[in-house]
Amino acid sequence: MSHEITVRKDGTEEFFAAGSTPVWHRLGQRVERALSSGAALKMAALDWKVDERPIYADIAGEMSEITTHKSIVRRDTQAVLGVVGRRYKPVQNEEAFEWLDGLVGSRLAVYETAGSIRHGAVVWALVRLPGELRIANTDDVVKPFILVANSHNGSVAFRALNTSIRVVCSNTLTLALRSAGPDAIAVKHTESIHDRLADAQEVLGLAVTQHRRFEAHMNLAAERKFRKRDFETFLDRVLSPASRRRDGDGEPEVTAARQQIVANFDHDLQSLKGIEHSAWAAFNAVSQYIDWERPMRGSVGREREERRFATTMFGQGADLKRKAWSTALEMSGVR
């Protein structure tokens, strides 16, 4: 099913989550911890390969190869995952996970989740780094992660992204780093992955540095207090200006999304001493809506969870949270 976690014909979902992970609890396999790439591949049902296949066209009754492109085919299901240019070199799932072994094998990080969407076209692994980030000396804690994503259809380059999960309400944030965008941690990739350990150590150092910078930004956002007008400006920039209709009381007519985010901003989750009515609370009000409350198509719980996961990690939900985060930073004076 398009834009959802891959489900095999036997009902197996290509997804696993470590035991402590509180999100998307209806999906995939639950495990205590995966210590190696091989174990993670099996737990996430990603122990399959892709092949490069030529493409042919029927021209006047004769089959002629299209030399400018080729197809990437999943070996176990024979599903065509994508059509790519001739210079495209696929990265097998095991190669992407082996690259991460430089972190996981040294116990500097542990696998948190892994899986695929769109029949296997996009594959990811979420690896938790040591330590945690604490906002304004409160119980509002963020755990640092690296999200490694790869595709077999050319839609996602092999890359590593900073990601953080907020413990209080389990929101997921794909960071839009101010200077270089969300792909700020560049990963050198070679066909043989011979440099995976050195690359992984380099990425770990960069990730820790970026997460410490993020911690400083979070604290600045927590210090920036929002009056009602400030919060309305924030929502106008993140969503769109609320249309105003003069009725009896002259209050603005707002969308259901805007109403829910306003309610989130005033909720107890955002009222910890030190973060209440701040730019940080405003961002998390948006993030809470995207991760838990945004209406999703689908008549059953599992289908809704799959769609929510896809948009939160890779789609419009992630884009909206990046916009909310950059707006919160700008309104906090971070340029």
| 203 plus 241 within the same structural domain | no
- Residue 23 near residue 100 (C-beta atoms within 8 A): no
Domain assignment of residue 102, yes or no: yes
DSSP secondary structure code for residue 202 in this structure: H
- pTM, 2 dp: 0.71
Number of domains in the chain: 2
CA distance 106 to 127: 13
Last residue of a domain, one of 218, 249, 266: 218
- Cα–Cα nearest to 76, from 9, 27, 124, 28: 9
Residues 196 and 226 in one domain: no
Of 218, 247, 277, which marks where a domain is finished? 218
Evaluate whether residue 9 is within a structural domain: no
Distance separating alpha carbons of residues 288 and 264, to the nearest angstrom: 7
Residues 183-218 have pLDDT tens digits of: 455 555 455 544 665 666 677 677 777 778 888 888
Write down the pLDDT at residue 169: 56
What is the DSSP annotation of 268-313? GGG-STTTTTBHHHHHHHHHHIIIIIS----SSHHHHHHHHHHHHH
> What are residue 142's DSSP bridge partners?
133, 166
Same domain, 211 and 226: no
Q: What is d(CA 128, CA 18) in angstroms, rounded to the nearest whole number?
A: 10
Residue 96 lies in domain: 15-53+66-218
* pLDDT for res 29: 78
Sole residue written with tokens 């004769």:
62
The reported pLDDT for the residue numbered 303 is 67
Judgement on whether residues 290 and 141 belong to the same structural domain of the protein: no
Is residue 3 in some structural domain?
no
Residue 8 lies in a domain: no
Where is the domain boundary, 194, 218, 242? 218
Same domain, yes or no: 161 and 287: no
- Whether residues 164 and 256 fall in one domain: no
Strand partners, 173: 164
| DSSP classification of residue 77 | T
C-alpha 27/C-alpha 159 separation (Å) is 24
In-domain check, residue 5: no
- Whether 273 and 176 map to the same domain: the answer is no
* Element at 331 (helix H, strand E): helix 316-331
Question: What is the reported pLDDT for 82?
Answer: 94
In this structure, are 161 and 307 located in the same domain?
Answer: no
310 in a domain, yes or no? Answer: yes
Buried (b) or exposed (e) across 165-194, using 16+ Cβ within 10 A? bbebbebbbbbbbeeeebebbebebeeebe
Q: Which helix (H) or strand (E) holds 160?
A: strand 159-166
226 with 268, same domain? yes
Considering the domain architecture, whether residues 153 and 184 belong to the same structural domain is answered as yes
Residues 197, 164, single domain; the answer is yes
pLDDT at 134: 80
Report residues of the chain scoring pLDDT below 70.
Answer: 1-4, 19-27, 34-35, 105-108, 166-201, 204, 242-254, 297-303, 305-306, 313-314
Shared domain for 117 and 250, answered yes or no, is no
Inside any domain, residue 78: yes
Does residue 196 belong to any structural domain of this protein? yes
